[in-house]
Amino acid sequence: MGKTSAGAEAPAAEKAAGTKKAAATKKAVATTAPAAAKKTATKAAAAKDTAAKKTAAKKTAAKKTATKTAAKKAPAARKPESRVAMVRRARRINRELAELYPYAHPELDFTNPFELLVATVLSAQTTDLRVNQTTPRLFAVCPTPEDMAAMAPERLEELIRPTGFFRAKTRSLLGLSAALRDRFGGEVPGRLEDLVTLPGVGRKTANVVLGNAFGVPGITVDTHFGRLARRFGWTTQEDADKVEADVAAIFPKSEWTMLSHRVVFHGRRVCHSRKPACGACPIAPLCPAYGEGETDPEKAKKLLKYELGGQPGQRLKPPADYPGQPAPPMAAP
């Protein structure tokens, strides 16, 4: 029992010693832990600071690069430009657009001057696609000025209804086809001064017909051409005739017709009215309006239209060298 009690005392002492040691260790740990934690925290803070500094430096470098790229992409925006420099830049834009769209062409389907004249009148306030989807049926019913002039207005209205403003357009078509029959022997005249005397035919329509059916150079100022000419800094005018005069003073006559097609092609595919795809625009370095639209290359790519964006074009019967898909016929109602 005494053994037992001695034996019982010894573990108690050991236990007491053990407890003291443990307490001391705990204390030591408790004393050193905050210091270590502090050290670690300081180290972490320093590392964080360095990382933040590095990120900031990286950001500044990226910003600098972006600024440099933007400056490189839009040199025309950097300083006021002399007339000579603007003309040089304008002609370079034309050359680059020629490389980009070697297949540029009028986007209205036609097989003769009369069809082109009618299609151009119908294209007011609507898309070329809609006109191209409408004219096959129209020309099947009235292929000549004489046929069209003899049509009942209601029947003509019904045929051209999909192009919108069909009452006013019907009046123009009946008037111009009667004028062709009565004043020009049923033929479309090949002179601007004659064309503009026809009902519903202004300079734009006359230039389209002259340039594409008669090979007479003409600048076609439609909504796309006017918008891009202003973005390119070729003009500040809003009026189509004034835009035409400004652009005519920059380019040789021999370029007028194809220039018109290329600029309109670019306007339809890349340099859209509301969302120009600046980040995917091959002529961005020559354009003072770079940045007016989306500059992120991936996002901009998604804005591209027609053959550049992989969608069908405007013509149901495009020329043989057109690299994209033909437009589909009108969907059945």
Q: Which stretch binds ligand SF4 (CB under 6 A): 124-132, 178-186, 236-244, 277-285?
A: 277-285
Q: Which stretch binds ligand SF4 (CB under 6 A): 53-61, 100-108, 192-200, 272-280?
A: 272-280
DSSP state of 198: S
- Min dist CB 280 to ligand SF4, Å, is 8
- Residue 287: CB partners within 8 Å, gap ≥ 6? 74, 76, 93, 231, 232, 278, 281
271 is in an annotated binding site: yes
- Min dist CB 297 to ligand SF4, Å, is 12
Which residue of 198, 240, 284, 308 would you call a contact of ligand SF4, by CB under 6 A? Answer: 284
- Residue 330: CB partners within 8 Å, gap ≥ 6? 133, 134, 162
- Regarding 303 and contact with ligand SF4 (CB under 6 A), the answer is no
Tokens encoding 228? 């891009």
Q: Which stretch binds ligand SF4 (CB under 6 A): 19-27, 53-61, 257-265, 280-288?
A: 280-288
204 noted as active-site residue:
yes
- Regarding 271 and contact with ligand SF4 (CB under 6 A), the answer is yes
- Residue 51: CB partners within 8 Å, gap ≥ 6? none
- Min dist CB 284 to ligand SF4, Å, is 4
Tokens encoding 190? 């090949």
- Min dist CB 203 to ligand SF4, Å, is 25
CA distance 190 to 114: 11
Tokens encoding 125? 């306030």
Strands (E), 194-279: none
H or E, element range at 63: helix 2-73
Q: Can you give the binding site for ligand SF4, defined by CB under 6 A?
A: 231, 270-271, 276-278, 281, 283-284, 287, 289-290, 292-293
Q: Which residues participate in the annotated binding site?
A: 271, 278, 281, 287
